[in-house]
Amino acid sequence: MCGIAGFFSKNNVNKPDKDKLKIMTDLLAHRGPDAEGQWCDGLVGLGHRRLSIIDLNEQSNQPMLSHDGRFVITYNGEVYNYKELRVELEEHGAVFNTESDTEVIIESYRYWGRNAFNKLNGMWAFCLYDVEKKELVLCRDRFGIKPLFYIDREDVFAFSSEAKAILGLLPDEKIPNETCIYRYLAGTLNEDVDEKSFYKNIKIFPAAHYMTIDAQNGESSIKPYWEVDEKKFRHKWIKGKNPIKTFKKLFENSVELRLRADVEVGACLSGGIDSSAIVGCASKKYGRKMHTFSSIYEDPDCNEERYITDVNKKWNTKAHFIKPDEYENDFVEYVKKITYHHDQPFTGASLFSQYMVMNSISGNVKVVLDGQGADELFAGYIPYYSHYIYDLLDKGTLCARLKAIRLLTVVNKYWHDIIGAISTDSIVRLVGIKNSFRFQNNQRIAELRIKRTSKMFTDSFMGRVHEDYSRKDIKLSSKLNTRLCNDVINKSIPALLHNEDGNSMAFSIESRVPFLDYRIVEFAMALDGKYKIRDSWTKWIVRKACREYLPNSVYKRKNKMGFPAPFSRWLRQGKSKEEIKKIIYEFSERGIVPKDTVLSIYNSHMKGEGDYSTILFRMFNLQLWLVMNDMKENYSNA
């Protein structure tokens, strides 16, 4: 896990040199504190900051040249199956000077060309330069676990792990992207994932793609190397196999591969099924006590200590607890730090909890396993019930209809007051019964009330928003799998992975996500919904396959928290409430949202007339980001 950067000039004016590259890599020092390097040939410049995880020898520092000097690479990530690929390549005569996975990527590309990308199992973003052909190849892993940003101007092409390094080279590009600001405040940022970043001209390199660039004339092309193919996945992972046994084998192998490291490995533990299963499986396969790291709040709505304790006790771990409440005095300063590392405002205060967990990991281990992705693959969130109910109704049989009614009854019994629950009006009409089911979502209701009664954005700001969103949703054979697939590929998972990377790399920690092994993703996309939701149980197959790894309390757990933070309470009673208020009031002068709307929302929250904490956090964090970037746009005067 590292930081990468590079550029080349298209007009021979801003030619790459090591001093310019060092400006970029210095801004990525937190991603790689163990070593740094810059490489130039007068045409192309590549830079690197290293976090040493595999083959700690300095021979594996980057940028790395191939044994014959033809290829040079700067690479961020881990290829977990590098040992198996190395054996295969050696059989074909490949030569290796190191024990690193970096060199395996180089030799894989030499032998297989672009077909090599589908052989890699892991997370990566890299730029490989063919010195002989004067061709650059940029590539990002299938699901965007590792970040990659780029800018393609008439005079220069540049890329980096974080936008700030590109801005270090091109400070004039610190221009806000009004479309992303609009999406962020409107609550659709995680629903509209595309190449747009919060900086107008800096793009997000798409996952599962590679780009080739002729460094002599600047011509480029970008293509996918992996795409969703439900039929192919079903034949590969489902047909003729026992799904529970198949998943268990894939999961255990994924965890085992992600324990490969020449440094100690730990795990984040929230007390949910996903992280608990990982801790259990890793503890069994690791051969030593696992370090676990957990966030604990006193608020009952945010406290998962009971489940965390049960997991730690079952596996005799080295448990570490962080209490973010103890850092509330400095909440605003921590949000500034998080915003800096993310290069953008973030969507909720829960990232503060995750950030403090990563802070506690620093100095204990350099690698952690995390449960990201399981909810979106195996239907772990309550709203997914609605899609499965529609699938049952689409079958048209009496049996399926009865299952749908029974499922609605069970869902209402257990989750009638859970935030983010199902909107049942249309479902109830289809089932043909009266609407006796109550699904309350106070925060969402409050935000919808804002949109109905208030003008959310000023005309001058909206005049600068250009929503040309053109990404097409992927369609699978069922409504449930269609929703899950799009959440993984196009919507929530890309944003969540950005958060995971930003928070972990802020402390030079490598975060690995076993559930996003591409084999598990392909398996899940082909798996019938009945293995994901059954009766009142979400993630049914994960529970069944991982039963031996879970304490009974977690196995039977129905509620879900994740990394919660009591920001709603902090707004009203917290130690930083006056400072937060001041920043929100400063935002009201921006001319993005009408001032009377901002003040009305804030006052309504403070009076207890609704929970407006989500939108208020976004206004607060957006103002911090704009100030940090010295963006002085005032749309009231635009």
Q: 272 with 554: CB under 8 angstroms? A: yes
Burial of 223 (0-12, 13-18, 19+ CB in 10 A): exposed
Contacts of 134 (CB under 8 A, 6+ apart): 43, 44, 214, 215, 216
Find how far residue 360's CA is from the centre of its chain.
Answer: 20
Q: Is residue 2 flagged as an active site residue?
A: yes
The span from the CA of 635 to the CA of 592, in Å, is 6
- The angle, 0 to 180 degrees and rounded to 10, between the axes of the packed helices 577-587 and 331-342 is 50
Token pair for 440: 């309350």
Spatial neighbors of 162 by CB under 8 A, at least 6 apart, are: 3, 27, 28, 31, 147, 149, 341, 343
Task: Return left, alpha or beta for 240; rule: phi > 0 is left, psi -120 to 50 is alpha, else beta.
Answer: left
Q: How would you label 588-607 residue by residue, b for 16+ Cβ within 10 Å and e otherwise?
A: bebbbbbeebbeebbebbee
Residue 370 CA to residue 632 CA, distance in Å, equals: 38
Exposure pattern of 302-320 as b/e (b: 16+ CB <10 Å)? bbbeebbbbbbebbebebb
Asked whether the beta carbons of 246 and 511 are under 8 A apart, the reply is: no
Whats the size of the chain, residue-wise? Answer: 638
**Coil/strand/helix, residue 221:** strand
Spatial CB neighbours of 52, under 8 Å, sequence gap ≥ 6:
34, 35, 60, 262, 263
Residue in this structure with the two tokens 């709505």, named with its chain if needed: 301
Minimal CA–CA distance to 198: which of 211, 185, 181, 210?
181
| Distance (Å, whole) CA 193 – CA 469 | 9
The residue assigned the tokens 């929530």 is 492
Catalytic one of 2, 180, 485, 546: 2
Contacts of 537 (CB under 8 A, 6+ apart): 543, 558
Runs of H (alpha helix) within 219-264: 230-237, 243-257
Judge whether 631 and 591 are in contact, CB under 8 Å. no
Give me 342's structure tokens.
């993310």
Closest CA to 374 of 536, 543, 503, 229: 543
Supply the residues annotated as catalytic.
2
